Structure 1
Amino acid sequence: MTPVALILASSSRFRQAQLANLNLPFESVSPDADERSFEQETPAQTALRLAILKAETVAKTHTNHLIIGSDQVAFCQNTQLGKPMSLDKAAATLRFTSGQDMDFYTAVVLLNTVTGRLQQHVDHTRVTMRALSDATIARYLECEPDAIYCAGGAKSEGLGQTLIESITTTDPNALIGLPMLKLIGFFINEGIVLP
């Protein structure tokens, strides 16, 4: 197989750090994609559609590449939760999810722009949140303000784990933003040699 360059279609530093752990050279390209959800979609459908859209958007300007697209949708009390993007919205989100079960749907795709092959997967992770006081939420957001960039407002790989009672998943990486175990399988399918 002709070597192709690897691109992560994301500006997320969390996903970049996850991928960097594999010691594979890659470039990160921010996709210019409309990330709105559609009313008739399930959270899993939204996550997968957006992951594919991100990969295909980057593919328009990058040929001879393997492109990783990923997206995550949090779902709680019949409501899709996005990234809060402000401390006030993060606090409101954490109050809303306090003591509740949250479902995270994290989609990952690998698009080979040479062959057109698209591998895809949606991971489902269930998170049970502890009952959170306003004081706990305020302390958390003061210590970890970049949680505003995380779906659901809790950064599970950091202090956000103190807000979580339990996590049920087949891949703990998925909650951070990339289902790495499935992505590694995609790489193997493409002939990429991993250590």
Structure 2
Amino acid sequence: MSEKLPLVLGSGSIFRRAQLTRLGLDFQTASPDFDETPQAGENAEQTALRLAEGKARSLAAQFPRALVIGADQVAWCGGRQLGKPMNVAAAQQMLASLSGKQIEFYSAVVLLNTAANRIQTHVDYTAVTMRTLTDAQIRAYLAREPDAVYCAGAAKSEGLGTALIEEIDSRDPNALIGLPLFRLIDFLRNEGVEIL
């Protein structure tokens, strides 16, 4: 029988931690140390995958015999990458600019077996169509959903952000929250970790 490696979520995100907790697995979290600056010439999908892999690999020395999950998400609209606004004024501006538009989300997940130096990678694509929003609606949303300033595009889909969204096109509804669980479950199974 092969050695059971500990599971490490390489993310400081409370949202991703809550997602992984729902699977009922024992895991620990560690904050990766990796430069998240986008590189010239990268598209959104490449950026998301590079960052997810970089985060996982940045924890390899700390966890030399583990299964490390790395994840990252990039939001894209109108030919530009959308970051996390980090404050209410920036979030108001961002949501006003996204009103009535489609946003593309690229959610990357990797599972790095640090003992075998084996990595599995996936990027999930989600298209989100925003409702046409008034300034009053944006202000009301941000007053009631203060965590939204820490979400790419300022829309927290698993909360009140549902009211901002007209349509979501996705193969994995978990991906938009930040962790493509459908594919992660496959990756874990490939490493001998069964959910059920």
Q: Output the CA distance in 2 between the equivalents of 1:60 and 1:73.
A: 26
* 2:24 alignment partner AA: N
Alignment of 1:90-101 (within 5 A): 90-101=91-102
Percentage of pairs with the same residue: 54
Query: 5+ unaligned residues in a row in structure 1: which ranges?
Result: none
How much has 1:62 moved relative to structure 2?
Answer: 1.1
Matched, 1:119 2:123: no
Q: Output the CA distance in 2 between the equivalents of 1:60 and 1:140.
A: 42
For 1:74-101, what per-residue CA distance to the aligned partner results, in whole angstroms no more than 9, with x for missing partners? 0000010011111111111101111000
For 1:7-46, what per-residue CA distance to the aligned partner results, in whole angstroms no more than 9, with x for missing partners? 0000000000000001101011011111111121000000
* 2:165 alignment partner AA: I
Q: CA RMSD in A?
A: 0.6
Q: Output the CA distance in 2 between the equivalents of 1:181 and 1:69.
A: 15
How much has 1:60 moved relative to structure 2?
Answer: 2.0
TM, length-normalised to structure 1: 0.99
Q: Output the CA distance in 1 between the equivalents of 2:194 and 2:125.
A: 27
* 1:33 alignment partner AA: F
How much has 1:190 moved relative to structure 2?
Answer: 0.5
Matching residue of 1:28: 29
> Which portions of structure 1, spanning 4 or more consecutive aligned residues, are displaced by more than 4 angstroms?
none
Once structures 1 and 2 are overlaid, which stretch shifts more, 46-55 or 79-88?
79-88
Matching residue of 2:56: 55
Matching residue of 1:132: 133
Q: Output the CA distance in 1 between the equivalents of 2:90 and 2:27.
A: 33
For 1:128-165, what per-residue CA distance to the aligned partner results, in whole angstroms no more than 9, with x for missing partners? 00001110000000000000111100000000010000
Matched, 1:155 2:173: no
Query: 5+ unaligned residues in a row in structure 2: which ranges?
Result: none
Matching residue of 2:14: 13
* 2:97 alignment partner AA: F
Q: Output the CA distance in 1 between the equivalents of 2:100 and 2:144.
A: 21
Q: Output the CA distance in 1 between the equivalents of 2:189 and 2:11.
A: 21
Q: Output the CA distance in 1 between the equivalents of 2:13 and 2:131.
A: 27
TM, length-normalised to structure 2: 0.98
